[in-house]
Chains A and B, each alone.
Chain A
């Protein structure tokens, strides 16, 4: 069974902290994505990557950065966490030719 694993299910951080969210997939997928999910707003794309060391901004990249040093791992970084970054963060991956995404279970981040 294909798997996308997010390192933490729940995370509580303080305002101003640097936060790392990790995502690992074991399917040899080329594409990896980070979304945040908020009630009434659906899933919004933060960053994505089509290859190692490659990254592209999504629709809401402000306040975030990413790292993809290995094909199987895609990290989301909050340089200085703020309360408006409290959200559910979903990682996903897909093959270069598709179809569709496989999602991780999500990380619920609370910034206090």
Chain B
């Protein structure tokens, strides 16, 4: 089955800096890669996703890049703010309607 590795497990940045979280996947048939943000005590929420026919996608301060050849994808957050502090999970699946395999998560702390 699919295996998703996520790094780093913790990341601490100063407010205004950029943050990058990286994931690799093992199943070459995977073609859908969402990112979820989970604030403390709350449910995970989808923040951005990318499909395999696209190399990059942006939504305001967040962007995701995908390298299918290398089987890795990354989340980029620019101009970080304290409210970006949360656990971020990457995931992969064979389609947006298929089961997701998640990475182990990254705890992002943005220091004021």
CB of A25 within 8 Å of the partner chain: no
Return chain A residues, CB-CB under 8 Å to B95.
98
Return chain A residues, CB-CB under 8 Å to B105.
42
Q: Which residue of A lies closest to B43 (CB)?
A: A103
Out of B9, B43, B49, B101, name the residue touching A100 (CB < 8 Å). Answer: B49
- B1-30, CB under 8 A of A: which get 1 and which 0? 100001001000000000000000000000
Return chain B residues, CB-CB under 8 Å to A43.
44, 89, 102
Docked CA distance A33–B102 (Å): 13
Docked CA distance A96–B32 (Å): 14
B32→A98 contact, CB < 8 A: yes
Q: Which residue of B lies closest to A31 (CB)?
A: B97
- Residues in B82-107 with C-beta less than 8 Å from chain A: 89, 95-97, 99-105
Out of A97, A103, A105, name the residue touching B97 (CB < 8 Å). Answer: A97
B99→A100 contact, CB < 8 A: no
Interface residues of B (CB under 8 A from A): 1, 6, 9, 32, 34, 42-46, 49, 89, 95-97, 99-105
CB of A52 within 8 Å of the partner chain: no
- Residues in A67-112 with C-beta less than 8 Å from chain B: 90, 94-101, 103-106
CB of A45 within 8 Å of the partner chain: yes
Out of B1, B43, B104, name the residue touching A90 (CB < 8 Å). Answer: B43
Asked if A100 meets B44 with Cβ closer than 8 Å, knowing A48-B99, A58-B99, A94-B97, the reply is no
Most chain B C-beta atoms within 10 Å of own C-beta, residue among A42, A100, A106 = A100
Docked CA distance A45–B9 (Å): 20
Return chain A residues, CB-CB under 8 Å to B100.
33, 45, 101
Query: How close is A41's CB to chain B, nearest CB, in angstroms?
Result: 6
